[in-house]
Every structure is written in structure tokens, then in C-alpha cells.
Amino acid sequence: MSEMRYEAPKTLAAAVALLSGAKGQASVLAGGTDLLIQMRAGRVEPELLVDIKGIPEMTSIVAENGGFRFGAAVTCMELIEHEAFAKAWPGVTDGVKLIGSIQVKGRATVGGNLCNASPAADSVPALITAGAAVSIVGPNGRREARVEDIATEPGKISLAKGEIVVSFLLPRRPPHSGDAYLRFTPRTEMDIAVVGAGVNLTLDEKGVCSQARVSLGAVAERALLVSEAAAALIGTKVDAAALKRLAAAASAACRPIDDKRGTKEYRIKVAGVMARRAAEIALARSVSSFAPTHSLRKTARTQDSI
Amino acid sequence: MPDTIKLEEKKLKVIGTRPVRPDGVPKVTGLARYGADYSLPGMLWGKILRSPHAHARIRSIDTSQAQALPGVKAVMTSADLPEQKFEYVGPERVAVNFWHMTRNIMAREKVLYEGHAVAAVAAISSTVADEALRLIKVDYEVLPHVIDVDEAMRPDAPLLFADMITRGVEPAPGKPSNISKRIELKIGDLEAGFAAADEIVEMDFKTAPVHQGYIEPQGCLARFDTDGQGEIWASSQGHFVVRAFTAQLLEMNIGNLLVHPAEIGGGFGGKTVIYIEPVAAVLSRKTGHPVKIVMSREDVFMATGPTSGAAMTVKIGVKKDGKIVAADGLFKFQAGAFPGSPVMNACMCSFAPYDIPNVRSVGYDVVCNRPKSAAYRAPGSPISAFAVESVIDVAAARIGMDPLQFRLKNSAKVGTPTVWGPKHAHDSYAATIQALLKHPGYTAPLGKNQGRGVASGFWFNNGGESSATAHVNEDGTVVVATGSPDIGGSRASMALMAAETLGIDYDKVRPIVADTASIGYTHVTGGSRVTFASGIAVIEACKKVIGELRARAAMTWDVDVDDVIWEEGHARPAGKNMGRFEPLSLKAIAAKKAVTGGPISASASVNAGGVAPGFASELCDVEVDPETGGVKILRFVAAQDVGRAIHPSYVEGQIQGGVAQGIGWALNEEYIYDQAGRLLNAGFLDYRIPVASDLPMIEAVLVEVPNPNHPFGVKGAGEVNIVPSMAAVANAVSHAIGRRMTELPMSPPKVLVALDSGRGD
Amino acid sequence: MAKHHVTATINGNGVEFLCETHQTLLEVLRDELGLTGTKEGCGTGDCGACSVTVDGRLVCSCLVLGVETEGKSIQTIEGMGVGKDLHPLQRKFLEHAALQCGICTPGILIAARSLLERNPNPTEEEVRYGLAGNLCRCTGYHKIVDAVLDAAREMRRA
């Protein structure tokens, strides 16, 4: 068996140097919940593991410009348990909560969820709808990218050799905003999304949707940002007609495959359903930020979908 | 020995109570040792190379590079196992053929499924063993494969065995096929029966193969001495069967092999057969070192016994008054790579709950490129029950009868003939239906998108060979040894029956599972036989001990032994005119054993007859998400005739566990193959067994109709609970969506297709 | 290949061990340290049988490398009881017959303890979702849920 080195650098510079200097395959070890399984199955055989959990910037959650910056190696459980974050970004939290079991979330990271580049990654559609920016550091310094531009196809990312996703920046939210992520799985837990849908929307003072972003997971080679679906909501009060158009636009944007987890037809159909239900939850969350007397609408259905 | 105690007439003192199980503490502290938990000094790690192909001829295996790797101590292939005679041995329902078995342990001419073992290594570490496997070069000629049962039965299907001529067909077919056997069971006049029917319901069904899904992968440790004596520690449902099979496959004397029962981490039938023990034994014999083999989860899914997938057609004829007059079932079962699906059980159990004058069951045992099927909880019966109980549901609706009343009207009673010959001798089926009829859940209102289903099932239960020994210790405690691996609380029930028989406290009995050299032959823990058959052995051993205790008291009192009775744990004078003797407790007699004749112990070996079958009736409420096809189980009530519950908590646990497995089978569990016949979901992520949040509380209703043939009324409780479950869920889903579901699993895409096919009607 | 020398704390005791890079914490516990109470059901984080805590965080030990535990504090099933006393969860599992074969039990107990630390008063649904990462094939979860709820009640009173 080839020797596999393990390094746990304390700085980003050291991590980048290790990764870019590796002769064979070098893998970033964050939570390891995908990497260890791939190693066990012999699908990857890295020469070098770079454990980045000792790098402070990658494991902290901080307020920044009214938003949040969290390290790519922050575990899902740490993010879920961060009350201010969960309050600001309930939809992103929905997505993170759905990644595996509590045990898996105790290790898994959002950076890993993104860089594993599964089209079904649960945190990714929610991050895309949140407009999250990704900070990347590599041999040529630091650059910024959008979450939707990282994964390109299953297992492939747009990072160059030696580059690491360091952190995510979620912007300050306008008032009356709400986001939500929903997925469909045959089991209630411990499953991979057959379809995932994230919706982030903002209402104006009259309750009209002024901004919206919609993203779908597991319906294409990567998570999709579906502007047609968002357009169906903008300018409406997110009423039944708008939701119907949203669902249709979501279904129309799908280009799924048949696989062991679902059929094309099923994914296309259910993508619309999930998008509509996620929009209803996002709407309820944005409505709840109005003063109690300003009740625009009753709370939409809860996340417990069936 | 005069039977001086009439157990069945006594008021039971400890049976029916719920004490902590005797083997419980080590299992909550992590100290209990399962198959993978044994190690020995100098131990090597064994690993098995498995076929990447569903069907291929093995042209050659080159092990030279693996052999040369430092740290590798031995490599084996099928050449290290002697050839076996081609013959089916044992009763037809459970016949084995060692020619097949040795090929399943290690492929010879061909690999017949992905994951089929082709070679094995023993090395100084797991890492080196893995590396050695990569160095073994197998030259395969890939052959066309077939998995689906209907496809495997086609005349142009790829053949697994070029010389397989279907058994059970007269005259014998001239051409080989994948059909190993045809079974036909029949009573009455089918044609006349259907002619007399007012309504005939006929439907086709399909079920996916499912795995037992025990959480503990198979694991074992073997060691051999140079004199040919060997020892194996194995997680199995029957260490005597491990011994017998391994000795046969290695051509060694049974007496030279000692098998220790490890704690077993679930079996559900899947650990009544062997996979790794002969391999570890050969590797140990070759190296002179202990060898441990532990399967991975992928190995378990790819290479150990799932149960069959099936294609079925069931037809029943009914009179307007609700009487079923004819039933015809066609059951085609995947056997996997070697003959031996549970299709005969399916044929027998299918219509067994019902009193139907004209019945035919036809079964086909069909080989295909999947792992050989192994027993899974009431093997065969849940599959045929899915079809039959669905048709019963449709028939009841057709004539406008309540589905439980319909079943009650047709329920088998004492004297009802079975399709395989003997008449029913027990009629507790009706009691399980009555239990559901009385249950408030049966009439509780249902909401939108909700449906309710009921179904019933039959299982033989089993008796057979068991042994037990009771040792009285000098302080008055008693050790009770049996040969039955404890898979879910049987040590507790053995202790309860021993305590009840002896008239002592439960905590004075220490039950153990003894190895193959320390107790008489005992058949597997399976077929719901242990509490019944091993229970009888325990009771018999305890009765012999009582005889001895009476003799010791008689000696002490200087009276005739017939003048001493045993009552409530004490020897007492048989009558008042016998003289005034203070009763002697077991403890008092034990304390004096050295001066009254020495150690007090007794063994009993039985071939227990008088088995009474199990019946269950179940009620399921579901809610279907009309937009996704997702099914949520809202309520599940399972009423099962358990004879008598020795430890009710563990009986309830059997029912709850069986139902949970049935729900998984009904909704999401299946084997998914790619075009090349490779399994795509060999893991717990995509082979979706129910998780805690998928299920509601499962209400177990214990219907206790004692078995008159067992001293405490035991029937057996482990299996029949799963028999109705898939049909109950299917009937509920069908009612919720207004469309009949005839294919398992009823996964969300299938339910949504069914829903959409109904829209716009 | 030189092995890593790792110093960690297991169940409160300082422990040193050697491991190869690819060896998981589960393999280290079972094969190097003889702590076989932690079980392997799948090796891929899908069954929870290997649940332990690392620095108080519930994880699957099959998804942690041994080398990553340098300086960490690990709790396994072997450390759950205190001396001769069982943890209330262990007692309640026995009283409620919440185990049949027992192979999933160590992992479920560790996960349940972690659940009750975070939520001392869970609903049935919260227990079910909280234990969704732990597969049990024997019990249908009914008695497990009962036992956890009962233990939680007792622990709140204590």
C-alpha cells in the first residue's frame, strides 16, 4: 500500500504550500465524512491528507458587515447551534441540518459539502439562494467566488491545484426576508436528496416580493440557480398563482438523470412541489418579521411535509 | 420418573413477568463479545476477494504475487476445498446440497453473482491482506447474466447451470433451464370451485428482493492445531450447524471441531447458513495461526442471503355471502445463484389461514445471478401473503364485506385441511382478527389522504432438536445451559421456564449458551423454535433435577422417593400420614449434595413435536403525500397469537421488530442493479431500512391461546409478525390513493405514478 | 511506513497509541486498544453503531481518523457507567427491554446520552429524530424510545 502522509498545518499559507507542493494526489481533510468513505472504497488514494481543522480562520463563525462569515471547516453542528446564525439564515440552517445524521454533522463541514461536489448536497441550494460568497486561497493569493460557481459536475470543482475554500460570507439581510430549504427523501432522515429546493425571498413593506432567489439540487449535474423560478415570485404577494408559476418554472429548469435514488420524471415533478413548499416556508418566515399587528398571512405549512 | 408436578395447572409465578435479561448488563456496557470481537495471540486477518461480475467463467486465478507479498501467510481458492457430492440432503423444505454450498463459499468453475468469493488471503494485518487481494489476478470470461425471475424463466435466458433439469415435472424436461424445481400442492376441485364463485379476483404481483439487514456483519475467528483439531468462534444462529457444515466442507470429523457461540448481532434467518467460517478454517489450517474474518457491510449486501424477489399471480373465487370457494396461487421465486428459495413455504403458507375447499399452489424455484437466498423471518410466507392478502382485500370490497369480517368468516379452524395435507389442529387465527375488531384503532376516523389496511398471516413455527443441562450449584443457584444462540432474549425465557419449573426465583437461575462440546446437539435459533423446543429441553432437564432433589430428600428423611413431592421449590412429604418433615428447599438439599450422592445435574435432549402455528392480524393506517407519493405510517397495530408469552417484553419486541422490517420491505427496501448486474445500493445509505423517525409506536397485542402441547403453552413468536405487514401497508396505501398497489417496494416514485394514473378519471 | 504516535484521552484515561494514517478511530479502538464495545455496522457513517464522542461531540468513529484524535478526549461505551453504577440510560434500556441482539445498543446509548445532554426533556418525535442516525433492526425502536423518554424523566428528577 502506498504511503499516505498526514499533515495538520496551523496556517493557510502552510496548507496551501502543502497542497500545491504535493507530488501525487493531495486531499483536503475537513470533516472527512465523504473523503474517508471514498478512501475506504478505494475510489481515491491520496498521497497526502491536509487536515485543515487547525486553521483558525477556517473554524470560526464571525459577524461581518452585518452578515456572517463562517469557516469552511466549521462543523454542521456548530453552525446549527449558532443561535444568531440560525435566526438570520433559517433556510441555510435547514439545509445544513439535513446533511446526514447528528453523528455525521458532528464532523461534516459546509466547505466539504460544497467541495465534494455532489449535485444533491443539501447545504448548497440554500447557500446559493442566500447569495453566499466563497473566499478561496491558493498559491496566487485570495479570490472570491459565488457558491454556484464552485461545483461544475459530480465530483468536480472549479478550484485550481493548491486552492482551498476558506470561508463563506453571507450578506446582511434586508428586513422582511426569509429563506427555506426542503428536500424530498424516501426516509425521513439518513438519506440523500432525491430533489432539493432552496428559496430566499424579501418582501417590501406592502408584502410584495421584491427580491427572490431559487435554487434546486439533485436535478442536474450541479445545484442550479433558477432565475425563471425567482422571477415568478418577484412583484407578487407570493400568492397561489405565483407559487404555481414558481413550481412550473422549477420543474422546467430540471435536467435530471435516472438513478438509484429517483427517476427523471419523478424529480421533475417533485422539484416543483419542493420549490413551492420551500417558498411557502420562506414566505412565512419573512412575514413573521413584520410586527404582529401587521399580519399579512397565516403561517404557511410547516416543514413536516407529509 | 413419575410426573409429580402438573405445571400447566399451577398458577404461574414467574412466567409472564418482565425481569431484566440475564445477559443484559454486558450488552449495555459494551463488554458482550460478538463475532468480530474475538482475538487471539498471533492472529492473522483473513480477507476475501470477490467477483466484480454478475456471471463469468473463471479461466484462471494467479495468486503468486499475493503469495509473495511480505506479511501474507496463506492464499486460498476453491482448490483448497474438497469437491462435494451433488445431492439434496434433508427435508424438502430446507434441503441442502453441499455441491452447491462449497461453490457458494468459494466459486469454482464460474462466479454466479457480483460479490461471489473467488479467493482469500491471510496476512499479518488487515492492510497487508487488502493489498494482497489486489495482487490476485483472476482471468474472467464475462457471461450474460439474468436477475429478474420472469426473465430467468424465459427459454432463451442465460443459464447458470448448463445441466439443470427442472425437478418436480413429469416427464422431466428435455432441456436445461434456470428452473430448479416446480412444486404443486392441491386440494379439492379447483375448476368446480371457481365455477361456483360469484366473484373472481385475479391479480399479478411483484416483490423486490430484500436483505435481512442485521446490523452485525458476519464475523468469525478460527484456530487449528497441527493434529487437525479446530475451534471456531462465530456469530451465528446455530453453532451446531456451523460445525456440521464446516466439518463437511473441510472433510473433517465433527468431533474435531469445536464451535463457540459468539453473541449474535441480529440474524433474522440470515445467519442460519455459513459464508466465512470454512474460509477462516482453511486459512488457519494452512498457516497454523488463528485467522479472523469479518465481512464488510458491502460484502454483507452483495454476498449474503437476501430473501427472494418474486413474481406471483393469485386468484380467488368468492360467493356473495363471503365464502371463499376456490384459490389458486402461482409463486415464482428467485433462489439466487443456487437452488433453494423459500417458495415451498410460500406455497404452503399462502392460503393456510383460510378454510377453502379447493386450493392450488404452484411454485417455481428459479436460479439467477444474485447471492443465494437465505432464510428471512418466516421465509416465503410474507411474500405470498402480500399477494394473497391483497387479493382478499379486493375480494372483500368486491362483495361489500368488511375485510376483517370477511377473513373471520373464512378463517381456518381445527379440522380445516391444509393444502399440504394435515388438518389444522389449532384455530387461534380468529382470535387475532377479533382482537383487531375490538381495537379502537379499527374504527378511528381517518383524515384526508389517509387509508387503513388490514392483513393476516400464518407461520408454521417449529420444534425439533434441542438440548439443555441444569446444574444445581452448592448455594442453591442453578445454571441452565442450552445450545441455542440467544438472538433476542431467549436466555431470559429459559431462565423463567427453569425458575417456574423448579419453583425458585428467576435470579437464582443463570442461563448460558454452551459451545458444541458442552451440550447436546441443538438446531438453529430459527423457525420460532427456541422458546418452544429448547424450552421443553430446559423443562425436561429441570424435571430430572427435581427427581434427583426428591431422591436426596427421601434419602435425608429415609422415606421412599415416591413419598416426596416437589412443590414451590421445596421437597415435601407426599401426605400427612408420612410423618412430620420440615420441607427441604432446593438450597438446603444442594448444600448437602456431597453427602447425599454428589453433584446434582441433569440433561435433556429432545426432538420436540407438538408445534402449534402462529397467526397474526395487523392493522395499518397511512397518510400519502399526494404530490410526492411519500407514505407516512400513522398507526400500526399487530395482534399475534403467541401461545403464552414467557417474557412479554421480548415477545412484544419480536412483534415490533418484525413489523418494522415489514414496513421497510413494503415501502423502500430493494436491491437495485445496473445493466451489468452489479448492485448499486450495497450500503445502509441507499438500502433504506427504517430509521427511528420513519416509524410510529408499534402496538403489539398479545393474543394468548396456549399451546396444549407445551408445558407452559408456548407456540413461538418470532416470525409470523412480519407475514401480514407488507399486505397491511399495501392495503392501506391502496385505500388512501384509490389505486391498487401490486408491486413492492411502494417507493414514492411508484406511488406517485399510481396516483397520477388515477388523476383525471 | 512509520506509524503516527497519538496521545489522547479515552474515558478519562490518558492513552497513547500508534496508528497508520488510514486507520479510523473505530479501528484504533477495536483493534489497537481492545475496546470492542464500539461496533462496526457499516464503516460508512450510515448506521451509528460506532458512535462515540470526541471532545463532547457525537461522531461516528468510522469517519474519524485515529491520527486526528491527537490531544482529544474520547468517550466510548466502556466509560458510560460510573464505577459499578450503570448510567440511567443503561438501566432503562434493561428495564424496558430496549435491546434484542444488542449490537446497536452501545451506539444508541452514546447517541442518547448526547441527545439528553442537549435536550433533557425531549418529545417522542425529538427522540426519534435524535436517534435517526442509529439503525436498529430488531426492536422497531418502540422500546428504545420508551427507555430514552423514561431515562430523561428520571434524570430530570435527579
Question: How does residue B9 score in pLDDT terms, banded at 50, 70 and 90?
Answer: very low
**Could you give the number of structural domains in chain C?**
2
Both A153 and A62 in one domain: the answer is yes
Can you give the residue range of the structural domain that contains A15?
5-51
List, for residues B637-676, the tens digit of each pLDDT value.
Answer: 999 999 999 999 999 999 999 999 999 999 999 999 999 9
Residue A262 amino acid letter: G
pLDDT at B724 exceeding the cut of 60:
yes
Both C66 and C12 in one domain: the answer is yes
Tell me whether residues B266 and C96 touch, CB distance under 8 A: no
B123 against B11, higher pLDDT: B123
Report chain C residues whose CB lies below 8 A from the CB of A102: 58, 111, 114-115, 130, 132-133
Q: Choose the final residue of a domain: C32, C57, C78.
A: C78
**Which of C59, C64, C136 should be substituted to probe chain A, the one whose Cβ sees the most A Cβ atoms within 10 Å?**
C59
Report pLDDT for A292.
60
Reference B672, options B335, B209, B117; nearest CA is: B209
Reference B729, options B718, B717, B743; nearest CA is: B743
Smallest CA–CA separation between C19 and chain A, in Å? 12
CA angle B610, B616, B621 (to 5 degrees): 170
Q: In chain B, what percentage of residues exceed pLDDT 90?
A: 96
Both C50 and C113 in one domain: the answer is no
pLDDT at B1 exceeding the cut of 60:
no
Both C42 and C101 in one domain: the answer is no
Smallest CA–CA separation between A11 and chain B, in Å? 32
Tell me whether residues A184 and B628 touch, CB distance under 8 A: yes
Both A157 and A239 in one domain: the answer is no
Helix locations, chain A, DSSP H = 12-21, 35-40, 76-81, 83-88, 90-97, 102-105, 110-115, 123-129, 227-231, 240-253, 264-287
Instruction: Determine the average pLDDT of the residues in B625-633.
Output: 98
A303 occurs within a structural domain? no
Of A32, A40, A49, Cβ closest to residue C64: A32
Both A197 and A280 in one domain: the answer is yes
Report chain B residues whose CB lies below 8 A from the CB of A190: 684-685, 691
Q: Choose the final residue of a domain: A170, A204, A220.
A: A170
List, for residues A95-144, the tens digit of each pLDDT value.
Answer: 999 999 999 999 999 999 999 999 999 999 999 999 999 999 999 999 99
Instruction: Determine the average pLDDT of the residues in B160-181.
Output: 97
Question: How does residue B576 score in pLDDT terms, banded at 50, 70 and 90?
Answer: confident
Q: In chain B, what percentage of residues exceed pLDDT 70?
A: 98
Q: Residue A195: which H helix or E strand, with range?
A: strand A195-203
**Could you give the number of structural domains in chain A?**
3
> Is C141 near chain B, with CB under 8 Å?
yes
Reference B68, options B136, B166, B156; nearest CA is: B136
Residues 589-648 of B with CB under 8 A from A: 623-625, 627-632
Both A47 and A66 in one domain: the answer is no
> Is A251 near chain C, with CB under 8 Å?
no
CA distance B538 to B484: 11
**Which of A51, A101, A116 should be substituted to probe chain C, the one whose Cβ sees the most C Cβ atoms within 10 Å?**
A101
Report pLDDT for C84.
83
Helix axes B748-758, B725-737, angle to 10 degrees: 40
Instruction: Determine the average pLDDT of the residues in B566-585.
Output: 90
> Is C122 near chain A, with CB under 8 Å?
no
Q: Choose the final residue of a domain: C78, C103, C121.
A: C78
Tell me whether residues B213 and C137 touch, CB distance under 8 A: yes
Residue A18, domain CATH? 3.30.43.10
Report pLDDT for B573.
94
CA distance B435 to B412: 16
Both A43 and A105 in one domain: the answer is no
Residue B551, domain CATH? 3.30.365.10
> Is B17 near chain C, with CB under 8 Å?
no
Report chain A residues whose CB lies below 8 A from the CB of C62: 36
Question: How does residue A211 score in pLDDT terms, banded at 50, 70 and 90?
Answer: very high
pLDDT at B365 exceeding the cut of 60:
yes
Tell me whether residues B688 and A191 touch, CB distance under 8 A: yes
B479 occurs within a structural domain? yes
Both A71 and A151 in one domain: the answer is yes
C53 occurs within a structural domain? yes
The secondary structure of chain C, three-state, reads: CCCEEEEEEECCEEEEEEECCCCEHHHHHHHHCCCCCCCCCCCCCCCCCCEEEECCEEEEHHHCEHHHHCCCEEECHHHCCECCECCHHHHHHHHCCCCCCCCCHHHHHHHHHHHHHHCCCCCHHHHHHHCCCCCCCCCCCHHHHHHHHHHHHHHHHC
Residues 309-328 of B with CB under 8 A from C: none
Q: In chain A, what percentage of residues exceed pLDDT 70?
A: 94
Residue A96, domain CATH? 3.30.465.10
A152 occurs within a structural domain? yes
Can you give the residue range of the structural domain that contains B552?
7-32+463-608
List, for residues A138-171, the tens digit of each pLDDT value.
Answer: 999 999 999 999 999 999 999 999 999 999 999 9
Q: Which chains lie within 8 Å of chain C at 3 or more CB pairs, if any?
A: A, B
Q: How would you class B502 by CB atoms within 10 Å of its CB: exposed for 0-12, middle for 13-18, buried for 19 or more?
A: buried
Instruction: Determine the average pLDDT of the residues in A52-73.
Output: 96
Smallest CA–CA separation between A210 and chain C, in Å? 36
Both C71 and C13 in one domain: the answer is yes
Both C63 and C93 in one domain: the answer is no
Tell me whether residues C63 and A107 touch, CB distance under 8 A: yes
Other residues' Cβ atoms within 10 Å of the Cβ of residue B577: 7
Report pLDDT for A297.
47
Q: What is the mean pLDDT of chain B?
A: 96
Residue in this structure with the C-alpha cell 492492510, named with its chain if needed: B127
Both C113 and C133 in one domain: the answer is yes
List, for residues B287-317, the tens digit of each pLDDT value.
Answer: 999 999 999 999 999 999 899 999 999 999 9
Can you give the residue range of the structural domain that contains C138?
88-157
The three grid cell numbers given for residue B227, joined into one nine-digit string: 493434529
**Which of C138, C149, C150 should be substituted to probe chain B, the one whose Cβ sees the most B Cβ atoms within 10 Å?**
C138
pLDDT at B135 exceeding the cut of 90:
yes
Both A139 and A183 in one domain: the answer is no
Report chain C residues whose CB lies below 8 A from the CB of A32: 63-65, 68
**Which of B50, B215, B296, B628 should be substituted to probe chain A, the one whose Cβ sees the most A Cβ atoms within 10 Å?**
B628
Tell me whether residues C57 and A106 touch, CB distance under 8 A: yes
Question: How does residue A289 score in pLDDT terms, banded at 50, 70 and 90?
Answer: confident
Instruction: Search chain C and give the residue with CA nearest A75.
Output: C57
pLDDT at A260 exceeding the cut of 70:
yes
CA B104 from centre of chain: 20
Q: Residue B437: which H helix or E strand, with range?
A: helix B429-438
Both C49 and C68 in one domain: the answer is yes
B386 occurs within a structural domain? no
A26 occurs within a structural domain? yes
Report pLDDT for B7.
43
Q: Choose the final residue of a domain: A139, A170, A201.
A: A170
> Is C70 near chain B, with CB under 8 Å?
no
Both C25 and C55 in one domain: the answer is yes
Total residues belonging to chain A: 306
Report chain B residues whose CB lies below 8 A from the CB of C101: 214-216, 263-267, 487-488
A304 occurs within a structural domain? no
Q: Give the residues across from B701 on adjacent strands.
A: B639
Other residues' Cβ atoms within 10 Å of the Cβ of residue A211: 15
The size of the A-C interface in CB pairs under 8 A is: 85
The size of the B-C interface in CB pairs under 8 A is: 186
B429 occurs within a structural domain? no
List, for residues B177-205, the tens digit of each pLDDT value.
Answer: 999 999 999 999 999 999 999 999 999 99
Q: In chain A, what percentage of residues exceed pLDDT 90?
A: 91
pLDDT at A291 exceeding the cut of 70:
no
Q: Choose the final residue of a domain: C78, C96, C117.
A: C78
Report chain C residues whose CB lies below 8 A from the CB of A101: 45, 48, 60, 132-134
C83 occurs within a structural domain? no
Both A189 and A214 in one domain: the answer is yes
> Is C3 near chain A, with CB under 8 Å?
no
Residue B49 amino acid letter: L
| Reported ipTM | 0.98
Both A37 and A97 in one domain: the answer is no
Both C93 and C65 in one domain: the answer is no
The three grid cell numbers given for residue A209, joined into one nine-digit string: 416580493
Instruction: Determine the average pLDDT of the residues in A233-239.
Output: 98
C92 occurs within a structural domain? yes
CA end-to-end span of chain A: 49
Residue B335 dihedral angles phi and psi, to the nearest 5°: -90, -20
Give the lowest-confidence range in A55-64, A124-133, B572-581. B572-581
CA C59 from centre of chain: 8
Helix locations, B504-534, DSSP H = none
A305 occurs within a structural domain? no
Both A242 and A186 in one domain: the answer is yes
Both A166 and A186 in one domain: the answer is no
> Is A36 near chain C, with CB under 8 Å?
yes
Report pLDDT for B335.
98
Instruction: Determine the average pLDDT of the residues in A204-211.
Output: 96
Residue A158 dihedral angles phi and psi, to the nearest 5°: -90, 15
C60 occurs within a structural domain? yes
Binding-site residues on chain A for chain B (CB distance < 8 A): 1, 184, 186-192, 194, 260-263, 265-266, 269-270, 273, 305-306
Report pLDDT for A296.
47
Residue in this structure with the C-alpha cell 400427612, named with its chain if needed: B576
Tell me whether residues B488 and C131 touch, CB distance under 8 A: no
Report pLDDT for A303.
41
Residue C40, domain CATH? 3.10.20.30
3-state secondary structure at position B266: coil
CA angle B729, B648, B33 (to 5 degrees): 90
List, for residues B64-112, the tens digit of each pLDDT value.
Answer: 999 999 999 999 999 999 999 999 999 888 899 999 999 999 999 999 9
Both A121 and A25 in one domain: the answer is no
What does pLDDT average to in each consecutive run of 10 residues of chain C (158 residues)? 92 97 98 98 98 98 98 98 91 98 98 98 98 98 98 96
